[in-house]
């Protein structure tokens, strides 16, 4: 872009401003690119389901709560009027829980690290006992 001395001083000033702005934008993009750590996410371990944040509590509206109460009331009436429940209530509840709930293992799992070795707590030297300090 060529400028003559006669009335193009404003054009020259606009061009300088635009050039400086473009220069600032490019330097800002370079800085942001330097701080981009998204490529490192593939090397991070995945979070277990227990460590992930729990979703927010769902608040019931009055209409939804009313429908839920009616549905639960109908279910309760059906259970109470069932002949198996009337003859042996505790046995019916026990049988229902056995058929619907997953079985629980009595023996806790032994945690292993990535190498397949069992994890154990390492005692620090300071907590191993009383030690004399050498001077």
For 21-70, write each residue's pLDDT tens digit: 788 888 887 777 776 677 777 777 776 655 666 777 778 889 999 999 99
Alpha-carbon distance of 114 to 119, in angstroms, equals: 10
> Which residue do the tokens 């277990």 mark?
48
Record the pTM.
Answer: 0.35
| DSSP-assigned letter for residue 78 | H
Domain boundaries, the chain: 1-45, 62-97
Q: What is the CA radius of gyration of the chain?
A: 36
């Amino acid at each position: 872009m060529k400028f003559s001395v006669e009335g193009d001083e404003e054009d020259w000033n606009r061009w300088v401003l635009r050039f400086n702005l473009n220069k600032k934008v490019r330097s800002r993009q370079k800085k942001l690119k330097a701080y981009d750590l998204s490529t490192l996410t593939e090397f991070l371990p995945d979070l277990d389901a227990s460590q992930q944040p729990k979703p927010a509590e769902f608040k019931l509206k009055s209409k939804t709560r009313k429908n839920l109460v009616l549905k639960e009331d109908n279910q309760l009436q059906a259970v109470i009027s069932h002949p198996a429940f009337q003859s042996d209530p505790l046995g019916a509840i026990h049988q229902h829980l056995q058929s619907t709930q997953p079985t629980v293992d009595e023996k806790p799992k032994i945690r292993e690290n990535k190498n397949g070795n069992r994890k154990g707590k390492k005692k620090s030297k300071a907590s191993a006992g009383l030690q004399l300090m050498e001077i």
